[in-house]
């Protein structure tokens, strides 16, 4: 399988790095609200259920109800 690291159109060029989510440390994703929905896709040394529990704990700490509900929904979709 070939991965590209650049997208070129007539007007712009976009360079990026492909990462494998299952190889990434979950700690980075658990500590960042914007990355939290991606946490269930990351590597864990413990049981997957423990990681999902940690994600749920972090979501429960979000003070704004709408943000908490949206983050929970995004996480559920990605963890599904």
Does residue 6 belong to any structural domain of this protein?
Answer: no
Does residue 14 belong to any structural domain of this protein?
Answer: no
User: In 10 A of CB 10, how many CB atoms?
Assistant: 4
- The predicted-structure confidence for 25-35, as pLDDT tens digits, reads as follows 999 999 999 99
Does residue 25 belong to any structural domain of this protein?
Answer: yes
Closest CA to 44 of 25, 20, 29, 19: 25
Give the residue carrying structure tokens 């399988």: 1
Total domain count, the chain: 1
Does residue 37 belong to any structural domain of this protein?
Answer: yes
Per-residue pLDDT of the chain (80 residues; tens, 9 = 90+): 455 788 888 999 888 888 899 999 999 999 999 999 999 999 988 787 888 999 999 999 999 999 999 999 999 999 88
């Amino acid at each position: 399988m070939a991965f590209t690291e650049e997208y070129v159109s007539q007007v712009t060029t976009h360079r990026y790095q492909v990462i494998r989510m299952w190889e990434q440390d979950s700690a980075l994703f658990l500590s960042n609200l914007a990355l939290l929905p991606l946490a269930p896709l990351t590597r864990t040394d413990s049981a997957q259920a423990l990681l999902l529990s940690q994600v749920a704990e972090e979501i429960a700490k979000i003070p704004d109800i709408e943000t908490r509900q949206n983050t929970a929904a995004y996480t559920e979709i990605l963890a599904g």
